[in-house]
Structure 1
Amino acid sequence: MMKKINYSIRILTALVFTIFLSSCSNDDDSIDTLNVYSATVNGSNLSDGLSNVALSGSIEIAFSHTLEAEAFEESFSFSDAQGEANYTASLGNAGSKAVISYSGLNPGSAYSIVVDQSSLGENGESLNTDFSGSFTTTSEVEETKTPCTSATADCIEQIEIAEGASFNFYSSYDIISDQEYTWEEIEEVVFVIHGQNRDADEYFRYMTNAVGDVGKLENTLIISPEFKEETNAADGELFWDNNWREGANSGNTDIAISSFSVLDDIVVYLSNQEKFPNLKEIKFAGHSSGAAFVQHYAFVNTSEAAYTEYEFQYIVANNQYFYYPDGRRYNEDTNEFYVPTDCTGYDFWPYGYETAPSYVDGMSQEDLLQQQITRNTIYLLGTDDTNTEGTLNTTDCAATLLGSNRLERGRNIFTFFDTFYTENNQELIEVPNVGHDADAMFNSDEFKNILSRD
């Protein structure tokens, strides 16, 4: 009797062990297998026969496991009879979803999407078989835009800042007048701010030449604001005295709008992601008085904090009026910083925090300091901008305390931050053999290198 019981126990044990091995084997299969849960093109299920697909859009493929990015890119193909499509691939949803953004597909063409059977998963999981799908694009050719570069009235756009208050700017695309178009091609915006002559058309020409030379004209929106004086402003247009470069309010009757607020309003317009879905970077570049505007706008503006999805950068070229966050100034004779005692008002705006314009209301001196330290600011200096005659302010002590000429004033403000706030986000770039010349500065190799940075 005992022998039969032992025999039965042995059989039962073997059976349990067999089930255990089978279970483990099934678990291993589930770990090693990668499945496609869903695939869509612009929100529609990807199935053979899908037609009338837009020439620009996105494909999403959801997998059962986290993918290894490089392995997916090697196994993925997207093409028609004329060759591989123009696309970029990225991973979302904690790495389990492949997102393929495409553009410029051929109209009325049949496209195939294939993911080869291979180890795509982060832990070696692989597809059991190739995944594939196909669709046909729309036969309608999508509208494309040609940049406006003429620096004439053809390139002028007008935006309403407030009821009865408008503002003009030169623009490489008709972003205001064409309300129906989606600006998918625009990836970057460059604001270029004119000098004291208020020649926004010339500055627009300088910048379109520079951006064109680096091959980015099609994907860059160039905006050259025109801060008009009263004699040149039409009814309903905003105008300013020379203090436009300091963020002062407009001189219009019953309308007080800071020159800084105008740029904020344009940024708000550009932040519409339905109209500008691929915008990533916003640059502000100014020369001379325009540089003074940009240096101050860099650390006071409310736009950068409001739109953290964009990368902001400020290029200050050949400025003479710098804001310092405290009362220390640089002595070029002793190469030391000190606190002046013989210049009343040297820390008044635009040199310091005192008497700041109403735009700054609610911001403390410490707030501005922290923003000035952290915001991406480049001092672009012509090494020949040393002339002490002409428009350089050599009479007001508040200005002369900044340095002996524009070149030294730029070097001094950089030295200030490099000395007292070493963890700053500022950079000094010098342009050899160039003086006080906006065209030469913005079309220098040094500035073009800034434009070409990824």
Structure 2
Amino acid sequence: MTFATAETVATLSAILLSPIRLSEAHRVNQLLADSNSNPSFPQVQQCPPSKGGGICPLQNTCCPIRLSNGTIHSGCIPSDLGASVATCCADQLTGCGVGYQCLEDELNNRPVCKATAEIQDPLVQELPRYPLCHKSKNANFQHIQRFVSPSKFPTAEMLYYSSHGDIQHWNHHQQNMIHKVLIVIHGANRNADDYFCSASAAVLRASQPLPDQVLLLAPRFVVPQDLPPTVHLGTETGRILQWDGNAPNGAWRYGANAIAPLTATNVSSFDVLDAFVETIRSHVGMSCNRITVVGHSSGGQFVQRWALLSDQAQHVQTVVANPSSYAYLTPQRYDTNTGSWKVPGAQKDCLHRYNQWEWGMEMSKDETSEYVRRRLQNRNQTDAVIERFATRQVVYLVGTLDRCNASSSDEERSTPATTKPWCYSHGLETTCMDHIQGSNRWERNVRYLEMLKLVIPSSQKYHKRVVVPGVGHDHSLMFSSPQGLEVLLSKSSSDEMHSINPIAS
């Protein structure tokens, strides 16, 4: 399999279609080497002719896809269960993950993915099929944009994918075309291209709005490990915002400051999303009831915490999908032994950490983000944050099969067969602080919504739970489900948007 940036694919194709001389072969190798060392552009894979001859994000599986005009192109199965060797279905529209076969559910007359003998996880023996995403005018994962905020990070750039190009340089016609904005936040793997492609497939499945009317954005929170070691702060790529790559599951997910470039180390990851929303509302002219921000897994953690702290979150609908943990509004946690809510006892190993930010509203003495400190610095500020969170439009999108309680470390550790995890959790976070919220993502969602009802009963008007049956921890299947499509692409009711003054800085 050959990997290249999209900017090199056309050149490579032209070279490879003609007899290759030694000098041209050297040029091909140089193009590939240059593309794989340049973080300014996404790395993609060239699909073989038998799979359409097009392009897919790295670690996706290439499949032939039959487009509406009858032509065959390259479709892509996302990486959650794709892992580059997934199963292309005969309909040339769908696919199944590794270890699954494309079959029909005769009882319900619908196409499904059935597990083969190699899939032992009892939770996911049958799954919906993946809709193939593909490179198109509105899903150009071949090119990554650079976003600069004059007020928040004038000397740095945030990488992002966009269905409609650079959002900071639009003309009047482009502004009037857009009816819906969808901002998608990736998970711990920082695979924004995969999320962008998967979300674009969901947009195509929706009857309304039309794809041309949806502005789809996918920011990428880069860590130093994503960039080549030759990047210097004085270079063009040295302007890219980066976060600590040593923090488990990403420091960006709880509002941490960037660590590079040095001129932007006071920029919180929440500042970045604020800047996107501000730009959309000013440049694109979107009304407040047509912007949705969705995050899955670690991205879901990011979105829930951003919705809690951000002044800009009042202008959007936020969708929190299958996170491993939440920021609680009270020091109480559900005690399974007594069936009641209480402050954990002294026997808990994490008694002094479980309610600190990112799991609760107490500020750690080590908190370095001014964004977080400014909002949690005293009880009055914290109470104001909680009060306004009650009126934020938040949808909790949860898969019924996201119930595995095995940690990622358990899955990776070499253990005897008798202690092998019974299920695959996709990196469930299992620290003491996480476990105190529940044993798995489904249970943690149930407990968190129970907590909301107890602490701020009025939140039930604005905070909704939407269940996706038959889906586990998988962003593509969550987004493209009927429930996901309704939540992500329906027009929010403007009379449910409750204006409230921002917290004083």
TM-score by length of 2: 0.57
Match of 1:404 among 435, 439, 446: 439
Q: Distance in 1 between the 2:463 and 2:253 partners?
A: 21
Aligned to 1:198: 190
* Residues 1:393 and 2:429 aligned together: yes
* Residues 1:359 and 2:349 aligned together: no
* Residues 1:313 and 2:301 aligned together: no
1:239-254 equivalences under 5 Å are 239-241=242-244, 242-252=250-260, 253-254=262-263
Aligned-residue identity in percent: 30
Range with bigger deviation, 409-418 or 288-297: 409-418
Q: What does the per-residue CA deviation read over 1:135-158, in whole Å, with 9 as the maximum and x for residues that have no partner? A: xxxxxxxxxxx95213222xx221
CA contact (8 A) 1:186 1:278 kept: no
CA contact (8 A) 2:281 2:287 kept: no
Q: Which amino acid aligns with 1:236?
A: R
Q: Which of structures 1 and 2 has the bigger CA Rg? A: 1
- What is the alpha-carbon root mean square deviation over aligned residues? 2.0
- 1:453, CA displacement in angstroms? 3.2
Q: Distance in 2 between the 1:277 and 1:291 partners?
A: 23
**Residue ranges of structure 2 left out of the alignment (5+ in a row):** 1-135, 228-236, 245-249, 376-380, 409-426, 492-505
Q: What does the per-residue CA deviation read over 1:35-54, in whole Å, with 9 as the maximum and x for residues that have no partner? A: xxxxxxxxxxxxxxxxxxxx
Aligned to 2:344: 340
Aligned to 1:378: 395
Q: What does the per-residue CA deviation read over 1:193-214, in whole Å, with 9 as the maximum and x for residues that have no partner? A: 0000000001001111112211
Q: Distance in 2 between the 1:221 and 1:330 partners?
A: 40
CA contact (8 A) 1:381 1:430 kept: yes
Range with bigger deviation, 334-343 or 399-408: 334-343
Match of 1:295 among 283, 301, 304: 304
CA contact (8 A) 2:156 2:263 kept: no
Q: Which amino acid aligns with 1:157?
A: Q
CA contact (8 A) 1:239 1:251 kept: yes
Q: Distance in 2 between the 1:432 and 1:280 partners?
A: 27
Aligned to 2:141: 151
- 1:178, CA displacement in angstroms? 4.0
Higher strand content, 1 or 2:
1
SS at match of 1:264: helix
Q: Which amino acid aligns with 1:226?
A: R
Aligned to 2:212: 218
CA contact (8 A) 1:187 1:280 kept: no
Q: Distance in 2 between the 1:149 and 1:322 partners?
A: 31
Aligned to 2:466: 429
Q: Distance in 1 between the 2:467 and 2:338 partners?
A: 23
Q: What does the per-residue CA deviation read over 1:99-127, in whole Å, with 9 as the maximum and x for residues that have no partner? A: xxxxxxxxxxxxxxxxxxxxxxxxxxxxx
Match of 1:228 among 201, 222, 226: 222
CA contact (8 A) 1:300 1:371 kept: no
CA contact (8 A) 2:179 2:290 kept: yes
Aligned to 2:79: none
Aligned to 1:237: 240
Match of 2:476 among 435, 439, 448: 439
Q: Which amino acid aligns with 1:166?
A: E
Do the aligned partners of residues 177 and 325 (structure 1) sit closer, same or farther apart at CA in structure 2, a change above 3 Å counting? Answer: closer
Q: Distance in 2 between the 1:297 and 1:177 partners?
A: 23
Do the aligned partners of residues 218 and 332 (structure 1) sit closer, same or farther apart at CA in structure 2, a change above 3 Å counting? Answer: farther
* Residues 1:255 and 2:291 aligned together: no
1:58-77 equivalences under 5 Å are none
- 1:235, CA displacement in angstroms? 1.3
Range with bigger deviation, 243-252 or 353-362: 353-362
- 1:285, CA displacement in angstroms? 0.5
CA contact (8 A) 2:301 2:320 kept: yes
Do the aligned partners of residues 374 and 288 (structure 1) sit closer, same or farther apart at CA in structure 2, a change above 3 Å counting? Answer: same
CA contact (8 A) 2:468 2:481 kept: yes
CA contact (8 A) 1:434 1:440 kept: yes
Q: Distance in 1 between the 2:176 and 2:449 partners?
A: 37
* Residues 1:171 and 2:162 aligned together: yes
Aligned to 1:76: none
- 1:181, CA displacement in angstroms? 4.4
SS at match of 1:298: helix
Q: Which amino acid aligns with 2:451?
A: F
Aligned to 1:26: none
Aligned to 2:279: 269
- 1:179, CA displacement in angstroms? 4.0
CA contact (8 A) 1:188 1:279 kept: no
Do the aligned partners of residues 277 and 333 (structure 1) sit closer, same or farther apart at CA in structure 2, a change above 3 Å counting? Answer: closer
Do the aligned partners of residues 418 and 282 (structure 1) sit closer, same or farther apart at CA in structure 2, a change above 3 Å counting? Answer: same
Do the aligned partners of residues 384 and 332 (structure 1) sit closer, same or farther apart at CA in structure 2, a change above 3 Å counting? Answer: farther
Aligned to 1:128: none
Q: Distance in 1 between the 2:220 and 2:145 partners?
A: 11
Q: Which amino acid aligns with 2:319?
A: I
CA contact (8 A) 1:157 1:177 kept: no
> How many residue pairs were aligned?
300
Do the aligned partners of residues 258 and 177 (structure 1) sit closer, same or farther apart at CA in structure 2, a change above 3 Å counting? Answer: closer
Q: What does the per-residue CA deviation read over 1:258-301, in whole Å, with 9 as the maximum and x for residues that have no partner? A: 0110111112211226x436674211101100000000001111
TM-score by length of 1: 0.63
Q: Which amino acid aligns with 2:192?
A: A
CA contact (8 A) 1:288 1:319 kept: yes
Q: Distance in 2 between the 1:296 and 1:444 partners?
A: 25
- 1:451, CA displacement in angstroms? 3.1
* Residues 1:324 and 2:316 aligned together: no
Aligned to 1:79: none
Do the aligned partners of residues 301 and 381 (structure 1) sit closer, same or farther apart at CA in structure 2, a change above 3 Å counting? Answer: same
SS at match of 1:168: strand
Q: Which amino acid aligns with 1:361?
A: R
Q: Distance in 2 between the 1:350 and 1:246 partners?
A: 6
Q: Distance in 2 between the 1:431 and 1:159 partners?
A: 33
CA contact (8 A) 1:411 1:428 kept: no
- 1:232, CA displacement in angstroms? 2.5
Q: Distance in 1 between the 2:405 and 2:282 partners?
A: 45
SS at match of 1:170: strand
Do the aligned partners of residues 333 and 453 (structure 1) sit closer, same or farther apart at CA in structure 2, a change above 3 Å counting? Answer: farther
Q: Which amino acid aligns with 2:272?
A: V
CA contact (8 A) 1:194 1:289 kept: yes
Q: Distance in 1 between the 2:142 and 2:467 partners?
A: 32
Q: Which amino acid aligns with 2:256?
A: A
